[in-house]
Structure 1
């Protein structure tokens, strides 16, 4: 953990401007401090020793007042620009972090920071995004103390301390030598304390991320836990994680208080040594009062920046630890994204050619060498036991996960053979790998309904139009009739103007699922992907999903769905057993005829 990490200057332009400004203000502060001390010593010595009157020192008093006012203005400017810079730096780092994660996602890589996700039942990990979200919010917010308190004092110690030491040495070399010998004790003890506090800060941030991940996962799975009657049993897990975070935070605070005491004692003893030496020489007449006063006034200022750096260091370790993690994420190489525009999915054959995906802690890939095809306008159901890789296959198809081997191949109609290392087109345009396709042009043609649909705070009307803002009221009413969401609207106070909270608070899991299906039906995307569309619906409500499939078939949409229920599987034109690699009853490697 470096006091001023060069990566901060590279990643945030506002940090560079702030460092330059703070350095300039530090130089001005140093000059004013030296002038102030020398003037004050001159005034006191003149009045005490030479008998000067107020009229004799009036000009010096006026200059002293101007110097004090200038120091106050500089301190206020430092505080003001410090908070502005902290806000700008955190914003720029947050934007770069999210942009980097998005580009990794667009390249089919796992989003950084999601290694602690939850098991998804497919042998893989569901990227909840909780660690990354905490890093980009609470974690980076802790940089405020670093930028407004710690960094200015750090830069001030690099300018004020050596400059004032030179002035003291010029005035009295004995006092200068005393300070020079005692000054290294402060950074030495700071380094020793920093070694301990760094590991504690890392543990504190990790405990906060674990706590946040558990709470978010608990909230996401609360409907299921309630249905199983085990919701209350999760309180102990959250309590244990909260206690761990509390202990880590208190340990960091305890170290901060003790280290501040150590630094105060060191500075007090060091200044006392200087004062004792000056006092003895003043008594013996070997040192003038003006020089002695100037040195006494300047001596504490030599130690002050270093002492303040040590004090504020512990208030900034959380921010530094978060910045370290953010820099690690930003330095991860992002594979080159595809630049080829996606073909029209309304007439494109999508083929999974020997796709395999490995997961951490799982010995075998899931799916394993999956080869399957998806023709335009057909409804295909992905089946197989839990853990066989159905959701992972969907993630690969969406371009959210890059396969460890194999590829997703797009062909503009024609027959495609699915065996062999390279796909062979029998008719139509040449095949294109999904890895070479521009992600945005691919995603614009896909409507995806995950197991946990995303709802934003707002009205039902606003949520249902997210995928199609131009949808008319008549179109919305027709889509709601197909999915039976109109029954839900009739029970919500305010109807379509009724509001839902973050994550769909105010609606049950099944109601949220119906809203997502209605929103999906309004989309004109040629490819529709459904991940367990009946997961939160009872047997009676699954009729709405079957009606949705009928409507999508009528509109000529291509549908891929993860299905377990027999009625849903029966509604598909074709099934793909992800575990057995069977395509419409034909073994892998056999040729699949695709209608033109």
Structure 2
């Protein structure tokens, strides 16, 4: 795991600004460190030689003041940057999850929950303390060692030789920490996912008397154990870094002290070297103290950037009107990396405007994948989908989906009224339009004002599906959609409601493609497409 992921620098303006400002403040801080050592050494030398101290004392006060102001400026810039970077990434991640151009599998809910909650909180220490300190480590020690070289080359050589030992120990500690941190992050994701699953199934668990306190306690204990292991390693590694720095400064002090006693070195340069030696190690020691606090932030950065790092649709052409355009699939196949066989294979298929097509086939043959391909959620691994001669890859996905009404196998709901859920298809629809759509979807018994939860625990599977069908009808009648894609829309409905739904779909002035298993749904279609693995045959 890298201390600073290059993707973060390229993606975040806040991080780039922080690094530039911190570099400038770091160089100024290095200058004040050197000035402080020179002024203090001069002041002590003047004390022993009985010379006036007024100007030197004022100079020392000025150096202290400037160094304090630089420290305040660095802290202020860093804290503001942490807030900015966290807001940038959270906003970008939220927009990316809802981006119409997003391709690839849906992200793991546990990873999203972990990063959007406690994961982003770890950015505070990482951005506000670790990254500025990383810049100081790159700038201050070289400047200090160069200054020591002009004063006393022997002492500079000792520091130049021993300082890399501290860096080497930090690298070794980082390698030891990587696996422990990975296990801690996995335990946090597992805890988030387990808790979310318990909440989702709380009603069923209570019904069957399955108590989850013991399981939650065990998962939480594993997370605590991993956290304590990380803390123990942090304390031990800090001790090692402090020991190396202390011994290195002692070598410089012994060397300088012996030469001062023998008269081979004056007091003033000796004091300058003694004061600068600890300052060369200080940024590295402080970075070591912050390292373990930052590893969680670095891990969160990696997770967030991995979620953002995926393929996107690039098409920008206007979508042809589906009222007059034929959709053609030629040698289309979809191969998922996790499967050894293709998810969908279609040699040739045409869907003409105004058709009512039923897609049938055995489970797992790719019927739902076909809808995903037509919705432009998935780009075919091979072959082409053209609309009026234009490749679907080249069409703007937002414009394309604006012409489509979609009913998935498990329709989504929002917290609100049934009217709010149906109006997702068309926000400007009137209550009369919504009521008519529900009636035609076999949901005449559902009042517009009835409230439903996002999880849908207060509606049946049939009611959920009827709401989704009403949503699709409204999108065609009021929203102007010209293609309706449905994945088993009548599953869970009785015969009367199924007949109502099928009659409403047949009456639509749009192209209808329905994935079906029930015979009534298949019989209502004007054409049947039989999908098999690995080929598709048009009946």
TM-score, normalised to structure 2's length? Answer: 0.83
Report if aligned partners of 2:358, 2:514 keep a CA contact under 8 Å in 1. yes
Give 1:366 shift: 3.3
Of 243, 262, 268, 2:240 maps to 262
The answer on 1:475 being equivalent to 2:433 is yes
Give 1:42 shift: 3.2
Residue in 2 that maps onto 1:299: 277
Query: Any idea what SS the aligned residue of 1:369 has?
Result: strand
- 1:435-450 to 2 correspondences below 5 Å: 435-450=393-408
Give 1:31 shift: 1.3
- 1:61-72 to 2 correspondences below 5 Å: 61-72=57-68
Sort the Cα spacing of 1:91 and 1:67 in 2 relative to 1 into closer, same or farther, 3 A: same
The answer on 1:152 being equivalent to 2:132 is yes
Report if aligned partners of 1:546, 1:571 keep a CA contact under 8 Å in 2. no
> What do the CA deviations read for 1:413-454 (whole angstroms, capped 9, x no partner)?
xxxxxxxxxxxxxxxxxx333233332221110121223333
Work out the number of aligned pairs and report it. 535
Structure 1 Cα separation of the partners of residues 198 and 331 of structure 2? 36
The answer on 1:178 being equivalent to 2:158 is yes
The answer on 1:80 being equivalent to 2:57 is no
Query: Any idea what SS the aligned residue of 2:315 has?
Result: coil
Sort the Cα spacing of 1:486 and 1:134 in 2 relative to 1 into closer, same or farther, 3 A: farther
The root-mean-square deviation of aligned C-alpha atoms, in Å, is 4.0
Sort the Cα spacing of 1:86 and 1:350 in 2 relative to 1 into closer, same or farther, 3 A: same
> What do the CA deviations read for 1:52-84 (whole angstroms, capped 9, x no partner)?
6xxx53443333333323222222222222133
Report if aligned partners of 2:490, 2:501 keep a CA contact under 8 Å in 1. no
> What do the CA deviations read for 1:182-225 (whole angstroms, capped 9, x no partner)?
212101111222222234444544555566566667777x49x9
Structure 1 Cα separation of the partners of residues 353 and 205 of structure 2? 39
Residue in 2 that maps onto 1:594: none
Structure 2 Cα separation of the partners of residues 135 and 290 of structure 1? 54
Structure 1 Cα separation of the partners of residues 505 and 274 of structure 2? 85
Report if aligned partners of 1:482, 1:544 keep a CA contact under 8 Å in 2. no
Give 1:550 shift: 2.4
Of 186, 194, 199, 2:174 maps to 194
Residue in 1 that maps onto 2:32: 32
Structure 1 Cα separation of the partners of residues 412 and 76 of structure 2? 39
Sort the Cα spacing of 1:550 and 1:239 in 2 relative to 1 into closer, same or farther, 3 A: farther
Give 1:21 shift: 0.7
Residue in 2 that maps onto 1:521: 473
Structure 2 Cα separation of the partners of residues 234 and 543 of structure 1? 42
Structure 2 Cα separation of the partners of residues 530 and 333 of structure 1? 26
- 1:73-472 to 2 correspondences below 5 Å: 73-92=69-88, 106=101, 109-111=103-105, 114=106, 131=111, 142-206=122-186, 208-209=188-189, 222=201, 226=204, 232=210, 247-283=225-261, 287-324=265-302, 337-369=314-346, 371-411=348-388, 431-458=389-416, 460-472=418-430
Report if aligned partners of 1:370, 1:578 keep a CA contact under 8 Å in 2. no
Query: Any idea what SS the aligned residue of 2:53 has?
Result: helix
Residue in 2 that maps onto 1:552: 505
TM-score, normalised to structure 1's length? Answer: 0.76
Give 1:300 shift: 1.5
Give 1:159 shift: 1.7
Give 1:568 shift: 3.5
Deviates more, 1:59-68 or 1:380-389: 59-68
Give 1:281 shift: 4.6
Structure 2 Cα separation of the partners of residues 219 and 348 of structure 1? 46
Unmatched 5+ stretches in structure 1: 115-126, 412-430, 591-596
> What do the CA deviations read for 1:26-60 (whole angstroms, capped 9, x no partner)?
0111112222233233334434x2456xxx53443
